Amino acid sequence: MEKIKHFLESEKGKDILIVLIVILVGLASFELGRLSKEDSSGGLKIENGDQTANVLTSTENGSNMPIYDVSNTSSNDTNTTNSTNSTGKNYFASSRGKKYYSVNCSAGKTIKEANKVFFTTGEEAEKAGYTLSSACQ
């Protein structure tokens, strides 16, 4: 114990102790940052065979509560635009963006299906805080 105490009181021991403290504080900060980035309210992912769930925004009573639209689509269905349009949903937007697109607009084709939010009318999309994409006008 005396050797450790003597080592820590020396200049070399103090330098090593400072380096260890800096490393430990850095690791703790990194982990706290990772914990704060975890999205505990990331939503639900519903998987059941060939059913998919789309998150819709309700504008009734001013509520922004999500509504889940579960529709049967085959996993090999490549033309989701026509099946979406036949259900009355003529517009869509990214849940992470600020622009909305018509289902016939090619500008929104890069949006992942899991991130799409569908609307029946353009006014409904605008009430939800989206603006029409300039590529679709």
109 and 61 in a single domain? The answer is yes
109 and 77 in a single domain? The answer is yes
* One-letter amino acid of 132: L
At residue 81, the pLDDT reads 40
Predicted confidence (pLDDT) per residue in 93-134, tens digit:
998 889 999 888 888 888 888 888 899 998 998 999 999 988
Q: How many structural domains comprise the chain?
A: 2
Domain interval for residue 10: 2-37
At residue 6, the pLDDT reads 85
Residue pointed to by tokens 């590529």:
135
Q: Is residue 130 part of a domain?
A: yes
21 and 72 in a single domain? The answer is no
Contact between residue 130 and residue 59 where contact means Cβ atoms under 8 Å apart: no
Report CA-CA distances (Å) from 61 to 58, 112, 127.
Answer: 8, 29, 12
At residue 5, the pLDDT reads 84
By percentage, how much of the chain surpasses pLDDT 90? 17
pTM: 0.38
Question: Whose CA is closest to 69, among 83, 78, 32?
Answer: 83
CA angle (126 as vertex; 121, 132 as ends), nearest 5: 85
CA angle (93 as vertex; 84, 111 as ends), nearest 5: 85
Q: Could you give the count of Cα atoms lying within 13 Å of 50 in the half-sphere of its Cβ?
A: 6
DSSP 1: -
